[in-house]
């Protein structure tokens, strides 16, 4: 069997680490060609020692120089790069078959576009590529002939629950139902959310994730972004997308068909499951995750998103449908605002409950310009960030 040659963008993050854990279980199937990271030099060095990639990319020149020196001292064969276009070069390299896109935020858009245009097998863990890129990104996938496979647990579950032939989806699907855990504040009084600390917001009850996505889970903005991503991934209308709170995180999402039957994907809350499926599709390989034991499984419960104070608890969720129905580029504005707002909260510049205020104000202020390419998308992203930062300064605690 010919090995898949793999590039992991964001290899020192949660998704990147889980990807390499799966890959290490199948040395006969995968070869790690390239790894990229932001600033974690020692973590990258350890990965280079274990997987011996041909290229390692760091986000800044000082971190790249530090890594290069340590790699030289250990006599490793890895070349270190830090050029402005290094991520795009890795993602589109002829030496790479499969790209795991696990860079958090809009920073992952350019390399995702490069991988799509180069016709790669693109494992999309960076939901912002679709949220920001929208039709621009989908056009690159079509024109490049890329294979786009979702890695978010919810979108992987939907993909696994759909018919094999995408041409039949429109005639057979009634709606897609994404599940949400509700995060750490599902039962907390909405009026008390102004007191939430970054440490509390990052303590997810089910999943081990990075700080940004953990905060997004606490506000339910991650689910808003997932609704947007599902609209583009699966070609459904906003009216065909629904969200239900499922605290146990066992059912990862569902597809309801025209005959009212529902197909769902279940599994333990372990990101290695969707990662292994994306790496091996259409086959399945061992992931390292524990199996569900139905004899000891707790009750599976569900709550409507508009019940029990959830509208007040998660005001940002409705912005997904508003953005999808708005002008082209509205979703990119929402994503940029949220990245700025979450960063400000983590730096204790604004309160937890003010994240939504920043997102709301930015959507109201920034007029999208129907972006038709990467440059226009980045310009819109910059304008939205500037507006969001201005609101953060007004709200600063």
- Binding residues for NADPH, as ranges, are 12-15, 38, 126, 128, 210
Burial class (CB in 10 A: 0-12, 13-18, 19+), 269: middle
Here the tokens at position 225 are 């972004």
Cβ contact 246:300 at 8 Å: yes
d(CA 258, CA 173): 6
In sequence order, what E strands does the chain have? 4-9, 30-37, 55-58, 79-81, 98-101, 121-124, 147-150, 173-180, 241-245, 251-257, 262-266, 303-304
d(CA 228, CA 129): 11
Which residues, including other chains, have CB under 8 Å from residue 313's CB and lie 6 or more apart? 185, 186, 188, 190, 193, 220
Which residues, including other chains, have CB under 8 Å from residue 177's CB and lie 6 or more apart? 242, 243, 244, 253, 254, 255, 256, 262
Cα distance between the two ends of the chain: 58
- Binding residues for 1-deoxy-D-xylulose 5-phosphate, as ranges, are 127, 153-154, 181, 204, 217, 222-223, 226
SS3 266: strand
- Binding residues for Mn(2+), as ranges, are 152, 154, 226
Which of 246, 238, 262, 222 shows the shortest CA–CA distance to 305? 246
Here the tokens at position 189 are 């009084």
Cβ contact 382:366 at 8 Å: no
The whole-angstrom distance between residue 214's C-alpha and the CA centroid of its chain comes to 12
CB atoms within 10 A of CB 268: 16
d(CA 136, CA 154): 23
SS3 333: helix
């Amino acid at each position: 069997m010919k090995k898949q040659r793999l590039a992991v963008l964001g290899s020192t993050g949660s998704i990147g680490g889980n990807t390499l854990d799966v890959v290490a279980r199948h040395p006969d199937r995968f070869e790690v060609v390239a790894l990229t990271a932001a600033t974690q030099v020692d973590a990258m060095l350890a990965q280079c020692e274990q997987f011996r990639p041909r290229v390692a990319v760091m986000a800044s020149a000082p971190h790249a120089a530090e890594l290069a020196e340590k790699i030289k001292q250990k006599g490793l064969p890895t070349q270190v790069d830090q050029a402005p276009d290094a991520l795009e070069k890795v993602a589109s390299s002829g030496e790479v078959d499969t790209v795991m896109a696990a860079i958090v935020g809009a920073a992952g858009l350019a390399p995702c576009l490069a991988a799509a245009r180069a016709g790669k097998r693109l494992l999309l863990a960076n939901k912002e590529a679709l949220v920001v890129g929208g039709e621009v990104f989908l056009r690159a996938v079509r024109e490049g002939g890329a294979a786009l496979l979702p890695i978010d647990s919810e979108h992987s579950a939907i993909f696994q629950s759909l018919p094999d032939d995408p041409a039949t989806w429109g005639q057979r699907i009634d709606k897609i139902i994404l599940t949400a855990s509700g995060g750490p504040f599902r039962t907390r009084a909405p009026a008390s959310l102004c007191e939430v600390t970054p440490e509390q917001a990052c303590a997810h009850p089910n999943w081990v994730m990075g700080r940004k996505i953990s905060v997004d889970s606490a506000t339910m903005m991650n689910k808003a972004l997932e609704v947007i991503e599902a609209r583009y991934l699966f070609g459904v209308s906003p009216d065909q997308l629904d969200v239900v709170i499922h605290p146990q995180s066992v059912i990862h999402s569902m597809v309801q068909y025209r005959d009212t039957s529902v197909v769902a994907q279940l599994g333990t809350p372990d990101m290695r499951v969707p990662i292994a499926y994306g790496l091996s599709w259409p086959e399945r390989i061992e992931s390292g995750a524990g199996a569900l034991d139905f004899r000891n499984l707790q009750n599976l419960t569900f709550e409507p998103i508009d019940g029990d104070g959830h509208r007040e608890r998660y005001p940002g969720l409705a912005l997904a449908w508003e953005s999808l129905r708005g002008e082209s580029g509205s979703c990119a504005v929402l994503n940029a605002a949220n990245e700025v707002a979450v960063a400000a909260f983590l730096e204790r510049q604004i309160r937890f409950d003010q994240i939504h205020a920043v997102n709301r104000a930015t959507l109201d202020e920034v007029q999208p310009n129907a972006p038709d390419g990467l440059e226009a998308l980045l310009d819109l992203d910059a304008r939205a960030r500037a507006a969001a930062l201005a609101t953060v300064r007004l709200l600063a605690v």
